[in-house]
Amino acid sequence: MVRTLAKISLVLLVIVALPMSFYLVREFSALSKNEEMVERVFSTQLESILYSINQYSENVVQQWSLSVDQPVEPQSELMEGLVDNLFQYNAAVQAVRFIDLESKQQEAIYFNDSIFELSVWPDEEQVEQLQAYLESSYQQIRVDVWHESLLLYFLPRNGQGKQACQLVVEPSTFLMRNLSPIIQKVAQDLFYVSITDSISGQTIYTTGDEGDLSDSWSKASMWYLPGYELGIRLKSKTLEELASERSQRDNYLLMAIGLMVVIGFIFVLVNIRKEMKLAEIKSEFVSNVSHEIRTPLALISMYAETLLLKRVKTEEKQTEYLKTIQQESFRLTGIVNRILNFSRLEKNRIKYRFEKIDLREAIPEVVGTFRTHLDAAGVDCCCEENKEEAWVMADWESLKTMLNNLLDNAIKYSGSEKKIRVRLEHKPKQVWVEVEDNGIGIASKNQKYVFDQFYRVTDGDLAHQAKGSGLGLNLVKRMMKAHGGSVAVRSRLGEGSTFVLKFPRKK
């Protein structure tokens, strides 16, 4: 059996466990790569959010340029109206100045709140570049830092490259009035967004208290706020935490799968072992039963033949032979009955007729029916007297079968001076029927198995020689269960055993 089991384990190992472990190892290594990828995806997403904020700032600036890039003379009432309109809704714009690039003359200048000196001239090289862009129909807006302000300039489409327009913008107002709403909207409850001075590192704007995770920010420079950096990070966790949390979850899942495979593997092996053991026990049972039946059959046929041939001289001998025939046929009937009962129990075909029985009277009566059998075996058997009534609900036939089995075993598994005591024990909710013998006893390691079907102890000479099917005690166990009770054993190897039938007491 051990070899077959080893073979099956090997096959299972090759078919299931090995491919599964390869798969798990592969998955584990793939997970760390996934972690990197997830981190990269997250950071790309954050960068695209930063890009969208910059894109928004460009839209604002283009809106400003469009509002003054109209087919209107720079120094005209119409332009004044347009610029006034721009100033009214955009507090960040401090001044608008038009310059004629050919004559290098200032054409017009408009101030929002306060008037200041503005004489800075656009860089010629840059102007040439803007002109080239404009020729290919692209209007670029340049930004420079001028004192504390930003100086945006572009070539109006209507000026055909010969005119430049400068906008003086107050950065903090631009930030608070124009960019802050969109930044708040983007950040919501998910992100921290901040704007820092890229040289001093000082934070000039933030959507909240961002904590101390300075290296977990994704950063991008601001298109229209030179020298400033836009930063974003997840509110609750860093990207690493998020990615590793994900892969940790997958790790646990994989570990659970691995564990399940191992448990499944063990489960299959244990079951196969059980089935193999059962098959072995069954084949042993067949040989035991055949053996058990053969002995009485041989005796019956031998004595019957002797009697038929009239070889028996005396009357006593004749009676003795007839008694043996009767005893052996009783034994045969017992064996057949046990097997039949067992098969009926297996198929749930046993019908119990429960009735109210006083065990104080019933037990001596049942034991009395086996008296001839007990006497023939030379057993000193007595039922201890009991004064108290012991009412239970029991099936008379089952009671007989169970006691028969216990007494039979007590005889079978005892040496030469057989002594059996049958007694009642009164417990608060139960009545116990105890059958005690002075036989070979059962080792404690075997006691828990004796009630299993087909189980037999075969250590020791007597146990080995005694014939049996391994069904008797299992039958008792099942019948006691049907009575709502149980059966137990107390035994010491070499000293004897006591089997206890525990009946629920009838009130």
User: Per CB under 6 A, which region of 86-94, 142-150, 165-173, 432-440 contacts ligand ADP?
Assistant: 432-440
State the nearest-atom distance from the C-beta of 498 to ligand ADP, in Å. Answer: 9
User: Per CB under 6 A, which region of 81-89, 94-102, 132-140, 448-456 contacts ligand ADP?
Assistant: 448-456
Rule CB under 6 A: choose which of 468, 480, 485, 502 binds ligand ADP.
468
Count of CB atoms situated within 10 Å of the CB of 437 = 26
State the nearest-atom distance from the C-beta of 451 to ligand ADP, in Å. Answer: 7
Indicate whether 342 belongs to the interface with ligand ADP (CB under 6 A).
no
Indicate whether 456 belongs to the interface with ligand ADP (CB under 6 A).
yes
Report the distance separating Cα 153 and Cα 102, nearest Å.
16
| Closer by beta carbon to ligand ADP, 130 or else 335 | 335
Indicate whether 497 belongs to the interface with ligand ADP (CB under 6 A).
yes
Indicate whether 398 belongs to the interface with ligand ADP (CB under 6 A).
no
Report the distance separating Cα 269 and Cα 277, nearest Å.
12
State the nearest-atom distance from the C-beta of 406 to ligand ADP, in Å. Answer: 7
Residues contacting ligand ADP: total by CB under 6 A: 22
State the nearest-atom distance from the C-beta of 499 to ligand ADP, in Å. Answer: 7
User: Per CB under 6 A, which region of 226-234, 255-263, 315-323, 471-479 contacts ligand ADP?
Assistant: 471-479
State the nearest-atom distance from the C-beta of 479 to ligand ADP, in Å. Answer: 12
- Under DSSP, the state recorded for 15 is I
Tell me the DSSP string of 62-96.
HHHHHHH-SSS-SSSHHHHHHHHHHHHH-TTEEEE
Rule CB under 6 A: choose which of 143, 457, 487, 501 binds ligand ADP.
457
| Closer by beta carbon to ligand ADP, 441 or else 485 | 441
Phi-psi category of 211—alpha, beta or left, where left has phi over 0 and alpha has psi -120 to 50? left
Report the distance separating Cα 264 and Cα 270, nearest Å.
10
The count of residues in the chain is: 507
- Three-state SS for 491? strand
Looking at this protein, which amino acid is placed at residue 209? D
Looking at this protein, which amino acid is placed at residue 6? A
Show the tokens assigned to 493.
């190897």
State the nearest-atom distance from the C-beta of 439 to ligand ADP, in Å. Answer: 4
The sheet with strand 419-426 has its strands ordered as 380-383, 419-426, 430-437, 496-504, 486-492
User: Per CB under 6 A, which region of 9-17, 199-207, 372-380, 469-477 contacts ligand ADP?
Assistant: 469-477
Indicate whether 442 belongs to the interface with ligand ADP (CB under 6 A).
yes
| Closer by beta carbon to ligand ADP, 185 or else 464 | 464
End-to-end Cα spacing for the chain:
51
Count of CB atoms situated within 10 Å of the CB of 454 = 20
Q: Is the dihedral of CA 85, 146, 57, 73 positive or negative?
A: positive
Rule CB under 6 A: choose which of 207, 342, 474, 487 binds ligand ADP.
474
Q: H or E stretch including 145?
A: strand 142-146
268 burial level (CB within 10 Å; 0-12, 13-18, 19+): middle
- Three-state SS for 173? helix
User: Per CB under 6 A, which region of 8-16, 233-241, 391-399, 464-472 contacts ligand ADP?
Assistant: 464-472
State the nearest-atom distance from the C-beta of 279 to ligand ADP, in Å. Answer: 18
Rule CB under 6 A: choose which of 65, 163, 194, 469 binds ligand ADP.
469
Any bridge partners for residue 218, and if so which? 232
State the nearest-atom distance from the C-beta of 487 to ligand ADP, in Å. Answer: 11
Q: Interaction with ligand ADP in 400-429: which residues (CB under 6 A)? A: 405, 409-410, 413
Indicate whether 381 belongs to the interface with ligand ADP (CB under 6 A).
no
Report the distance separating Cα 91 and Cα 89, nearest Å.
6
| Closer by beta carbon to ligand ADP, 53 or else 457 | 457
Indicate whether 437 belongs to the interface with ligand ADP (CB under 6 A).
yes
Given the rule CB under 6 A, which residues bind ligand ADP? Answer: 405, 409-410, 413, 437, 439-442, 450, 455-457, 463, 468-474, 497
